[in-house]
Structure 1
Amino acid sequence: MDVPNLDATPVVPKTGDEPLHESGRLLGQHLRDFWAWAYSDLLGNAMRGVLAEYLVGTALGCVHGRTRLEWDAWDLRTVDGIRLEIKSAAYLQSWRQSAYSRIGFDIRPTTAWYAETNTYSSDRRRQADVYVFCLFAHRGQGDRRPARRRPVAVLRDEHPPARRDGRRAEADITRGAVAAGAPGPSGFGELRGAVEAVSAGPRVTPGQDPQ
């Protein structure tokens, strides 16, 4: 019995012009129509986070000609090998609110899954070299456009993953803690320099456990 090829399926970047069809019969819709239907809510938590990854990756020059790799151990990797985790928060959500959302960023340690090898790390830790915290800071009801320029703070992972008393590892970092530890907010044009300034230390080869 022949064993089927079960390697990962390569993803080719799409343009949006690809027609939808059924066995060659055109349905009158294109891929961009699906995108507009499924992903127009850029203020929701899921898509706002993906948009933040894209904006950061664009600023760092590491997304052009590539596609997003979901569930990998880290969100982005620069051409210099810096592993990045992108976190996004906002005061406003797409649903009705009774108050502004609390600003915090999830930094809990994880068990990494390496997409290239379909293997898991042997322990829980923070996987990235640098964390980039993106805040959609707008608070007005009249203009909710997450695609606008957003202030960004950059921080090297220096927060201990576990407390000395043996209690559960810190899972959340507040905006104030980010501001205290980061070199300062960076706009789109300053982000590359900010990431390079705070990055240091060993790199991890995909498919290998961090040491």
Structure 2
Amino acid sequence: MSTPLRLVIFDVDGTLVDSQGDILGAMRHAFGAVDLEVPSRDAVLGIVGLSLPVAMARLAPDAGPAVQDELVEGYKSAYVDMRAKVGAAQSSPLYPGARDSLEQLHATPEVLLGVATGKSKRGLDSLIKAHDLGSFFVTQQVADFHPSKPHPSMILQAMADTGVDPENTVMIGDTSFDMEMAQSAGVRSIGVSWGYHPVSALRGAAEILTDFAALPTAISRLWER
């Protein structure tokens, strides 16, 4: 009996790349531009993974829709400017071991790789180009075309794109939003400890990893269960 196709979906910020410097910097610029108090580091990292309109509504709930829209646009502009100054590869570096794990998984014939991110398509395209990741991901789900995490739309579309069943799909992420999204989509999840939410928030994960090198083995254990 042949091995079924399997799908491994990655979150991006806080899972594959460490982009917190740009995220925090862009948020400081956006809030300063509208004369609002800048949220704390923990508050900002706590919303990473959400689509920007949802994130700004959480960070500035009393500001009103018009100001929240200004925050979104101010953040986007600042993020693009900062990335242009130093390049996406330097401002959002891959976590140690990320490329090796991607290469190992990509080399397995029955395994397909995808991403599901709160980034825009433009932001993801820039990051993939900077890190030369274009050959890895057969499905790329971004905030432009989906409701914000933890809605399951991104995972459901990734499975539709690849024809992989829920029991053969796993979501890899660093936030509670990733774990909740996986649960809503009926797939399993693996949490990573090096990202932006505390490990205690990764409820529902089949495993919590502390080292990227352990990911391929953890995924293999998951398929065996």
TM-score (norm 2): 0.24
Larger of the two Rg values belongs to structure: 1
Structure with higher helix content: 2
Specify which structure has the bigger relative contact order, considering alpha-carbon pairs within 8 angstroms and separated by 6 or more residues.
2
